[in-house]
Structure 1
């Protein structure tokens, strides 16, 4: 253990003693290091370093049974309980298509993996090369402990050192000037969309950033709204048990909740959904802008709420529940029109 690692271990222990309720991501930010580096300080104690192809690890996760999947970014935490089902990969892109746990995985960003035991909770935690968390999987009381132990043994790294080479974080993409973009062509491309999944390709084709697209959208297709309006939408959704879809992304994962939301609990700067199978923790004060976004598809217009932080990063994306080939629920359109437009 190098002095640097020893110093960090001591600093983290002191921080936890002074801030017992602080989460590890916040501790990392306060100490000026990555979350993965803090996790690594407990290798050999409560942490086991994992190795190998993490796609193969994920193919074994269904054996764990009922677990909790967690994906987060700086502004929102998305926690969904259920089983990993229909796990598949096409190169470095993966899918988990269970009824409860629904994920899109980008494995090129998965660099480090650990099995972690903390405060009686066991988990598998995965990080990008810069040490930022991309996805975590927590055992529940209903999980298969024997399968978890087998998985950890199978993928246990030969190297259990606490040293963790950390790469620089990727630089933020440079946003092209509005006047460098063929806005008319971009707007026509938007109007010609046949599927919401085509939107990302449209942005890349015209070199348009996602928040920039809100400004440059065809008239009536990106309408500014507020976080207060979004909360009113959630309240009505809760009252009516309307099924919605909530997308939250890290660099290596998109996690989707599909279904109703019931228990809404504001707590300080956090807006929370606290349901038995689904929890959402959203920092309201991070929402710098919110938009009602309308995209044409072969099945009719699809309406979403999109939240962005001050740097233009997307925090979360909210739709009414739908599947390709099925028009959007009119009830969802009505709720959005009533409170957010």
Structure 2
């Protein structure tokens, strides 16, 4: 399908359903969101110079960072300061804009004009990796100048199918060795190496974990975490990511608002949108570290993809907050299959 025809089909669909999001419209048309954005006459393809793009954003002042997956949308407003890029990895370490960037997944970038100009990045499959929008207080001239300087005349690349991944059968895993290495973890970041060494996926790892370190709970644990934290003022960490970016909120949450299938946090500077009908599994996970046990609530969809993680606010060299540990321990009483609280 040519770009003009794709855009015409989008406009026709949008006329019928004005509130339809571009991501959902692309799926209905049978295209990726990246293809649809590339077809937008107001979009300009950008050079994939991530250091220049991300490093230049500080001059624009406050911006809205958006990272999402199929079942979660994470929005934070702040300044893109302290951006570090080394090879195919990147970081942004700030109280508001806190990102972990896996740049091997970043392939296509577009500047999208209009009432709310944005920078949108997509992977090779045309899935959105990270989006950046202007907000009140943004220096629009600086933002638009940065994007104009990175304009690229190269043709858009046709999205490629996502490579299939082979799943290792449980009986082929050395479970005892896996469990022993889990018990010997000294840092949460060592967990990724543990998965790679044993060739297991995350939900498989949780099923095979030492029983004292992983317990499946009902997805209503998400409601319990957010409502309890909002009621007590407890500072939590909320991680949402995809293959190319993980975005983190650290701090309290206040306004928890269920709306249909969505469970939302609607706070100044932080919005979280969780599509709860796509949540299939929730796990209470504990990992040993040199600072003591680190406890998280992890949630997955039907394909075993990670949707969102919750932690208590953590400081290097200090044990996790006792109030978070108590809240997490209480989640064990929410059995899998327990109905979520009524809105």
Q: TM-score band (shorter)?
A: over 0.9
Equivalent residues of 2:182, 2:287 under 8 A apart:
yes
Distance 1:169 1:252, change over 3 A: same
Residue matched to 1:71? 67
Q: SS in structure 1 opposite 2:151?
A: coil
Q: Does 1:104 align with 2:136?
A: no
* Aligned counterpart for 2:50 among listed residues 37, 46, 54: 54
- What are the residue-to-residue correspondences of 1:212-251 with 2, within 5 Å? 212-251=204-243
Question: Equivalents in 2 of 1:165, 1:70: separation in Å?
Answer: 23
8 A contact 2:53–2:147 mirrored in 1: no
Residue 194 of structure 2 is aligned to residue 202 of structure 1: yes
Is 2:35 the counterpart of 1:37? yes
Deviation at 1:192, TM superposition (A): 0.2
1: CA distance between counterparts of 2:113 and 2:256? 30
Which whole-Å CA distance do the structure 1 matches of 2:153 and 2:21 have between them?
29
User: What residue is the counterpart of 2:330 in the other structure?
Assistant: 338
- Aligned residue runs from structure 1 range 125-140, under 5 A: 125-140=120-135
Length, aligned pairs only: 333
Deviation at 1:340, TM superposition (A): 3.8
Contact in 2 for aligned 1:96/1:104 (Cα 8 Å): yes
Q: Tell me which residue corresponds to 1:169.
A: 161
- Corresponding residue for 1:265? 257
> Is the CA contact (8 Å cut-off) linking 1:76 and 1:248 kept in structure 2?
yes
- Determine which of 13, 16, 26 is the counterpart of 1:15: 13
The CA distance in 2 between the partners of 1:326 and 1:207, in whole Å, is 31
Greater shift after overlay, 166-175 or 88-97?
166-175
Tell me what 2:136 maps to.
141
C-alpha RMSD of matched pairs (Å): 1.2
Partner residue of 1:293 out of 272, 285, 289: 285
Unaligned 5+ residue runs, structure 1? Answer: none
* Map of 1:25 onto structure 2: 23
**Residue 305 of structure 1 pairs with residue 300 of structure 2:** no
Kept after mapping to 1: 8 A contact 2:58/2:81: yes
The equivalent residue for 1:179 is 171
Deviation, 1:172, is 4.1
Partners of 2:47 and 2:109 within 8 A in 1 = yes
Distance 1:275 1:307 in 2: 22
Counterpart position of 1:278? 270
Q: TM-score, normalised by structure 1?
A: 0.95
- State the SS of the aligned residue for 2:56: helix
Is contact 1:47-1:117 (8 Å) kept? yes
Alignment deviations for residues 278-318 of structure 1 (CA, whole Å, 9 cap, x no partner): 00111101110000000000000000000000001111111
- Judge conservation of contact 2:129–2:243 (CA < 8 Å) in 1: yes
**Cα distance, 1:40 vs structure 2:** 1.4
Q: Is the 8 A contact 1:55 1:107 kept in 2?
A: no
How many Å separate the matches in 2 of 1:286 and 1:215?
A: 20
**In 1, are the aligned partners of 2:285 and 2:295 still within 8 Å (CA)?**
yes
What's the secondary structure of 1:37's corresponding residue? helix
- Mapped to 2, the partners of 1:87 and 1:212 lie a distance apart of 34
- Which consecutive residues of structure 2, in runs of 5 or more, have no partner in the other structure? 334-343
- 1:215 Cα deviation from its structure 2 partner: 0.3
Distance 2:15 2:248 in 1: 35
